[in-house]
Structure 1
């Protein structure tokens, strides 16, 4: 791919991510093109339909989350602090969109594998938080990942909102 085409594609994805995070999945292709500073024709040359763009965004968001989890878990701080930083990162991403896609049509095997990898990293982090003694142990790591997904993969999720605070308070020991 030519450098200018790659930059345009990145601008489209970045703009779409920002708009979806800000306003939800109802953003139009025209709004995304305008935000990216490109014509609609350029957007459609890169992404033949909305589904292709959303799939790219879902994969991009999951790759970003995987990288952030790895970065944060490498820090020498309490595992609880790492978990709260992961939650804060998640609430700033368009994960409600990613979740809605996953519940819709068939998920491509590559994204399914990526989602499984991210869930595994989260389960490992939760186990570390439990081993540290900062999180209740009567709920399994897999169940806690489901709870986290419910809290952060919803429209309007924010790090300090009531749902997120209550969820974290309820999980702490």
Structure 2
């Protein structure tokens, strides 16, 4: 029996990631590796070849989610005319991602104890986005002069938590937070 080509293997890997993300978003932590394989149209061995444990699969799905948030932040949020608007864009996207994928958020949280990025290139790039927003906001006067990247990520985390758990109106909280971070 011949081995699949590298292109086939990569297509299978991406299909498994896509299906896993959908299933986790729909059904949360009850999804098993065999279900992912069936839904992706591959054998369970293929899933385990790419993702030797469920934790590795969840980590890859989380990384893909964070990469999507990063791309959105770079393409849609950072170009905003002032840092407050850019931060509002990022907070909104974070809330939407967690609202649309509550099950996935639950899986990530159950696996790692948090839904925050776990470092790496994407995590570092997201921190750099926050640092850029804080610096721009202090410079353009749209954010308080004492705002830090830690403040911004506390706000992002709070909006995500409210959205993920459907606690109150996360959009109102976003607006109140932006008002609290605004300069004078």
Match 2:43 to one of 39, 48, 55: 39
Q: TM-score, normalised by structure 1?
A: 0.72
Q: TM-score, normalised by structure 2?
A: 0.69
- Is 1:151–1:157's contact at 8 Å kept on the other side of the alignment? no
Which one has the largest radius of gyration? 2
Distance in 2 (alpha carbons) for counterparts of 1:36 and 1:144 = 37
Q: Do structure 1's residue 144 and structure 2's residue 149 form an aligned pair?
A: no
Match 1:53 to one of 43, 51, 57: 57
Distance in 1 (alpha carbons) for counterparts of 2:111 and 2:137 = 30
Distance in 2 (alpha carbons) for counterparts of 1:113 and 1:100 = 23
Shift of 1:44: 1.7
Gaps of 5+ in 2: none
Distance in 1 (alpha carbons) for counterparts of 2:162 and 2:21 = 15
Distance in 1 (alpha carbons) for counterparts of 2:21 and 2:65 = 8
Write out per-residue CA displacement over residues 114-172 of structure 1, whole angstroms, 9 at most, x where no aligned residue. 423312312321443454444455653312212212321567368xx713431332332
Q: Do structure 1's residue 170 and structure 2's residue 183 form an aligned pair?
A: no
| Higher mean C-alpha deviation, range 2-11 or range 79-88 | 79-88
Distance in 1 (alpha carbons) for counterparts of 2:59 and 2:92 = 23
Task: Give the match's secondary structure for 1:75.
Answer: coil
Shift of 1:9: 0.2
Match 1:119 to one of 116, 123, 127: 127
- Is 1:151–1:163's contact at 8 Å kept on the other side of the alignment? yes
